[in-house]
Chain A
Amino acid sequence: MNDDLDRQNNNIIANWARKHSLWVLAYGTGCGAIEVPPTMTSRYDAERFGITGMATPRQADVLLITGYLAIKTLKRVIRTYEQMQAPKYVIGFGSCTINGGMYWDSYNTIKRLDDYIPVDIFINGCMPRPEGVIDGFIKLQERIARGQAKGWQHYQENLDWYRANQKKVIKNWTMPDYNW
């Protein structure tokens, strides 16, 4: 199975297409969601890089976590992430996803997103401006083209570790083992 995954990751044509067509599911947690509309609309026009918004997790490639995550929201994010189809990437947006940001001592937000779902690119700042967001997307495109954006593969291989971390913070875990 690992050979198959590596072969898929290093397919030049598929990586080129994945790079130039990123369909974003903007998960509007926290305050970062306000920076997404200017990124997508006329002023900064992310569509010229092939970046388009999508409505459902089944169709999307990139999960954009915009800001802090409450524990209640984390449950929905895990469900959404696991419903996305396989070459899938996560962008952590803002300082809150890196180390908690201004919510570093809050009792009900997670501090480090990377412990719960695999993040391919972090965009720091509070908030990052649309230029920063587009720069983050371009960094992600470069990683995809080199076949290095393998967060989804890492998640499959280390599912037990991620699951243990997730169950540590979500006390009333009622979801199935994997949400297909």
Chain B
Amino acid sequence: MSPMNIIWMIAMPFIGAAIGLLYIGISRNITARVQNRFGPPPYQNIIDIIKLYSKKTAITHGVMFHLGPVLAITGTISTLMFVPILTGNYPIYLFSFQGDLILLMYIMVFGCLAMALGAGQSGNPNSAIGVSRGLTQMFGYEVPFVIALIILMVRFDTSSVLDIIKAQDTVAHWNIFRSPFSFIAAIAAFLGMMGNKPFDIVFAPAEISSGPPSEYGGKYLALMQTNRGLFAFVKLVLYTDLFLGGAGDFITLILKTFALFLIPLFIGIVNPRFRTEQAMTFFWKWPTAIGVVGLVLVLL
């Protein structure tokens, strides 16, 4: 491994978290403008995290409670290590190998499961309700997500993200145009993954008082917020790689990921909240059906 790669390996989680948190801050600002308010500054989430890291923390509910946020951010950082970030003259891909798409399908779930274990041990009933809702919703959106990935794997006869990026050499060859069924299924799963408005029953602050993190405060919450920003960045980069032909440099990366980020944001601003069974019905009906149609078409 070259020294440049080692530097990127250390720097990338920080850059990713900063970009992800900035996006979430901008989303707060856009939401405020839609609601006819001024809104917080775009860097508000970074201020929040500095404050949370500087708080004293004296909560204990057992070993898994302490390990939950740590394992969640471990899962997210290890996902980041397998996602090719830049493919251009100065490429950044750290541990990409043949078949990393299958690994990504598994490892993306790890953080959510660690979170569920940690929140489950806190003993707060709101946490338990939030965890059960979150895991149920995860079963919902994993189905169209996996179908979308299988369409891409069958189409290009590979399970390496780098090969899929290489196949999308021009704009006309981007998978968003070549496999629209796969893109629609994947973007519906993306709405669920981002936890924006129609699918935010997991964290619903007004009814189950923020759900799984309701017993987490101080530095634990800081780790979880960092994880949220970083995970948003990882998912955006993965979707850019799979459907928008990857990115050659940082400016392209930011433009493409931000364009993708706006889709769940704008859908979220104008929609109310789905109940769990409505969310499950949505995920298992339309995106799954569209995905299966795409799969049949690509197999023919």
B is bound to A: yes
Chain A interface residues toward B at CB < 8 A = 8, 11, 13-14, 17-18, 20-21, 23, 41-42, 45, 47-48, 50, 53-61, 84-87, 180
Interface of chain B residues 1 through 57 with chain A (CB within 8 A): 28, 32, 35-40, 44, 47-48, 50-51, 54-57
Q: Which residue of A lies closest to B210 (CB)?
A: A55
Q: Which residue of A lies closest to B44 (CB)?
A: A50
Given contacts A21-B44, A55-B209, contact A87 B55 (CB under 8 A): yes
Contacts of B44 in A (CB 8 A): 20-21, 50
Cβ contacts A to B, 5 pairs, < 8 Å? A21-B48, A50-B48, A58-B215, A58-B217, A86-B55
B205 in contact with A55 (CB, 8 Å): yes
Interface size on B, residues (CB 8 A): 32
Contacts of B50 in A (CB 8 A): 13-14, 17
B210 in contact with A47 (CB, 8 Å): no
- Rounded to whole angstroms, the CA-CA distance of A14 and B186 in the bound complex is 41
Interface of chain B residues 245 through 271 with chain A (CB within 8 A): none
Instruction: Answer yes or no: B58 CB below 8 A from chain A CBs.
Output: yes
- Rounded to whole angstroms, the CA-CA distance of A85 and B57 in the bound complex is 6
The residue that A20 contacts in the complex, of B39, B47, B218, with Cβ under 8 A, is: B47
B47 in contact with A48 (CB, 8 Å): no
Instruction: Answer yes or no: B278 CB below 8 A from chain A CBs.
Output: no
- Rounded to whole angstroms, the CA-CA distance of A42 and B32 in the bound complex is 8
Instruction: Answer yes or no: B199 CB below 8 A from chain A CBs.
Output: no
Nearest-neighbour CB distance to chain B for A98, whole angstroms, equals 29
A17 in contact with B32 (CB, 8 Å): no
A59 in contact with B54 (CB, 8 Å): no
Q: Which residue of A lies closest to B58 (CB)?
A: A180
A180 in contact with B59 (CB, 8 Å): yes
